[in-house]
Amino acid sequence: MTFSTTKKIILAGVATMAFAAAQDPPAAAVAPAAPADARKWKNDQEQTLGIAAAAEKDPAAQLEKLDKWKHDFPESDYDDARAGAYLTAYGQLKRYHDQMMAAQELRKKHPDNLDLLRMIFTDVPLIKSPSAEDLAALADAARFVVDHADDVFSSKNKPANQTDDQWNKLKPDMVAYAQNQLDWIAEQQGKDAVIARLKQDPTRVALNVWLGKQILEEAKKGHPELQSDAIFHYARAAAYTGPGCLDPKAREGMKGFVDRAFKTYHGSLEGEDKLLATAANQALPDGYVIESTVDIFNKAADKDKKDREGNPMLAQWRDVKAILTADNGQEKFDAEVKENALPTFKGKIISMTPALKPKTIVLAVEKDGVADCTITFEAALPGKMDAGSELEFTGVAKSFKKDPYMLTLEVDKDKLVGWTGKNAPAPRAPAKPAPKKAN
């Protein structure tokens, strides 16, 4: 074998060294170089530089020789082989940014070369703090695989050591891998980028989980209201069952977390079914808000304030009822309420005993038609009144029943307002016959 032939073999072999340092996913050969018999040195000087670069074993020294070769001969029939040597040297030195950029540069000539694409996929996550340039290169490679999978996995690109079946099965796996790379890029760029990615592709449910975790961390730093959005994202992961959904076991785990978080934040599981149904059909909250226990309390407080302003008498009735229906209600009644005069209340008549000249009247104070107050009198009231008529009264508490609620008061007649019943007038005595006149 002549020295000239040996030099050609060494240079041809440079291309196959290109991905020696590449990690998972594995890579094979770089973009095809021109046939050996079609490549020529421009002169002996280039030949010397090329052979020296190819033969150098130390990667740092090899880069210096490659730089010298490229500087003196920026255009060469051996461009692909030289680019492959750069890739190998950068990989051995763990200069992942440089290796990635060299691969991206080589893709200008070979955009659908799977080995170059895989190298970029591998390199960028290995960079300690990927720059915007790094992420842009990775995004470009990933989108190319997603958008041009048929070109990448065309028959002309199939390696000789793979069967058609193996090559065809690899395509969906690499498309899924590229999609994951786009997810990872969005995560590096932050919440806004992840939200944009979900708007673009609502099936990327793993990003909902990522968002849920990030938002919970923010909530812990003084923004508890953000918990609503965080719970929504976990609910999305639990409820969504379309393309890209989590596996059943993972969804079950997410559902368990949502149950606990929703109950803690909202105070009960009431409304969780609506949350899950909504999250199953949309990737982002888009204004959907889970009411917190604080929200519910404040809403109730606002309503109570308005009720008190609109009907102070009814508000006082409810205050008394709240005390008596609490767990220690009987104790409170015996110690603080019984035999004491209560505020003035109003109620509508439900029934009277007896029906005429009653001494006992059952009324509805809080809600029409629902008996909750009994008033009694020492002496019977005159006449009667129709059911539904309203009375105002002030009385002394005598007893109460918790369920169904009934408060009994003793009322003096002069503390009763609105009674219109009257006794029937006494019958008139028969008229005496007129005396007879004397004749």
- Among 280, 288, 289, which Cα is nearest to 202's? 280
Sign of CA dihedral 240, 246, 252, 256: negative
Given 134, 160, 189, the domain boundary residue is 189
Domain shared by 142 and 229, yes or no = no
Q: What is the rounded distance in angstroms from the CA atom of residue 292 to the CA atom of residue 225? A: 8
Asked if the structure places residue 301 within a domain, the reply is no
Stated pTM of the model: 0.69
Domain shared by 341 and 261, yes or no = no
Q: What is the rounded distance in angstroms from the CA atom of residue 34 to the CA atom of residue 79? A: 10
Domain shared by 175 and 206, yes or no = no
Asked if the structure places residue 303 within a domain, the reply is no
Asked if the structure places residue 95 within a domain, the reply is yes
Domain shared by 165 and 252, yes or no = no
Domain shared by 110 and 22, yes or no = yes
Asked if the structure places residue 196 within a domain, the reply is no
Q: Radius of gyration (Cα) for the chain, nearest Å?
A: 44
Domain shared by 206 and 179, yes or no = no
CA-to-CA separations, 236 to 191, 198, 246, in angstroms, rounded: 16, 12, 10
Contact, 207 vs 194, CB < 8 A?
yes
Domain shared by 321 and 290, yes or no = no
Domain total in the chain:
3
Domain shared by 163 and 15, yes or no = yes
Secondary structure of 349-389 as H, E, C letters:
EEEEECCCCCCEEEEECCCCCCCCEEEECCCCCCCCCCCCC
Q: What's residue 304's pLDDT?
A: 87
Domain shared by 178 and 218, yes or no = no
Asked if the structure places residue 302 within a domain, the reply is no
Domain of 64, in residue numbers:
3-189
Domain shared by 178 and 215, yes or no = no
Contact, 22 vs 100, CB < 8 A?
no
- Among 46, 174, 42, 47, which Cα is nearest to 116's? 174
Q: What's residue 3's pLDDT?
A: 28
Taking only the tens of pLDDT, the chain with its 439 residues reads 332 332 332 333 333 233 222 333 333 334 344 555 578 999 999 999 999 999 999 999 999 999 999 999 999 999 989 999 999 999 999 999 999 999 999 999 999 999 999 999 999 999 999 999 999 999 999 999 999 999 999 999 999 999 999 999 999 999 999 999 999 999 999 999 999 999 999 999 999 999 999 999 999 998 999 999 999 999 999 999 999 999 999 999 999 999 999 999 999 999 999 999 999 999 999 999 999 999 999 998 998 899 888 999 999 999 999 999 999 999 999 999 999 999 999 999 999 999 999 999 999 999 999 999 999 999 999 999 999 999 999 999 999 999 999 999 999 999 999 999 998 876 776 767 766 666 5
Asked if the structure places residue 227 within a domain, the reply is yes
Tokens of 421: 């019943």
Q: What's residue 8's pLDDT?
A: 36
At residue 286, the 3 state secondary structure works out as: coil
Asked if the structure places residue 435 within a domain, the reply is no
Q: What's residue 35's pLDDT?
A: 55
Q: What's residue 428's pLDDT?
A: 72
